Amino acid sequence: MDERPKMKWRIEDIPVFHAVVATGGMTGASRSLGMPKSSVSKSVARLEQDLGLRLFDRNSRRVRVTREGELFFQQCQKILDQVSEADAVMTGLVGVPNGRLSVALPPAFCEEILAPKLAEFHRRYPLIELDVEATTRAIDMLADRFDIAVVVGVQEDSELAQKVLIGGRLIWVTSPAYLSAHDIGDDVRALESHLMICERRYGDRALMIKQHGHLVRFDVGPRVARINNPLAVRRAVVHGAGVSFLPEHYCAELLGEGLLVEIGTEVVFDTRAAQLTAIFPSRKLISSRARAFLDFLEEICTGPRVP
Q: Are 23 and 56 in contact (CB under 8 A)?
A: no
Q: Is the pLDDT of residue 305 over 80?
A: no
Whether 292 and 262 map to the same domain: the answer is no
* pLDDT tens per residue, range 263-279: 998 888 876 777 888 98
- Residues 142, 119 share a domain: yes
Query: Which of 113-127, 227-241, 268-282 has the weakest average pLDDT?
Result: 268-282
Would you say residue 5 lies in a domain?
A: no
Kindly state whether residues 282 and 154 are assigned to the same domain.
Answer: yes
Res. 216: pLDDT tops 90: no
- Residue 285: give its domain's CATH number: 3.40.190.10
Are 138 and 203 members of one domain? Answer: no
* 56 and 126 fall within a common domain: no
Residues 6+ apart with CB under 8 A from 67: none
**Is the residue at 307 inside a domain?**
no
The tally of domains found in the chain comes to: 3
CB 246 within 8 A of CB 199: yes
- Per DSSP bridges, beta strands 99-105 and 63-65 are unpaired
Q: Indicate the pairing of strand 244-247 with strand 170-174.
A: antiparallel
- 24 is in which domain, residue-wise? 11-90
CATH number, domain containing residue 57: 1.10.10.10
Domain co-membership, 258 together with 186: yes
